Amino acid sequence: MAKYVSEKIMSWKLSSLGMNSAADQYLVYHRFGMYLDSKKDLDHEKAVNRFLERLHKRMNPKNLRLYVDTYLARNDLTNQVKENLKVDTMIVSGSYPHLLHLTDELQAQMDAKLTTRVNIQHCGSVLSEAPEMFSHDLLLFCQGLGLFSALPISRNGSISVGN
């Protein structure tokens, strides 16, 4: 409940104050989590700074507030997946602790025979930070299902295309 209230306050601050340090902290937490790996602190700090720089250049407070409001209004699907999801599924997440917690909860509700889990190391947003690794893992997942079996994969993970 406290988390919900803080998110509502953040939405209000974005609509009334615009971008502010509290909004920055909130978005950094949701992107990276609150725990730092002591060995990776410098890399983590650089990633946070890059994220904030892009955020301030590309986002406007109105759109960000709408994004937060939509996030708060989302439906929880974890209770529905066990009985309704009957296909092979790949869960992909970054390795930051808050992401792992959420994907652990989702995976616990899913049929273990139909679920494949992929954690991309040192990554928060898989699609923007590690698209090559994601595409490689997705291709392997599809090949495990019997799809794209004619596509050979090189040792470095890229698709080998003949002349």
The pLDDT assigned to 99 comes to 67
The pLDDT assigned to 50 comes to 82
Helix (H, G, I), strand (E, B) or coil at 153: strand
The pLDDT assigned to 121 comes to 84
In angstroms, the Cα distances linking 114 to 77, 87, 108, 121 are: 17, 6, 12, 23
pLDDT tens digits, 107-161: 998 989 999 999 888 777 788 788 899 999 999 999 999 998 887 776 555 554 4
The residues spanned by each domain of the chain are: 2-72, 78-144
Distance CA 27, CA 23 (A): 6
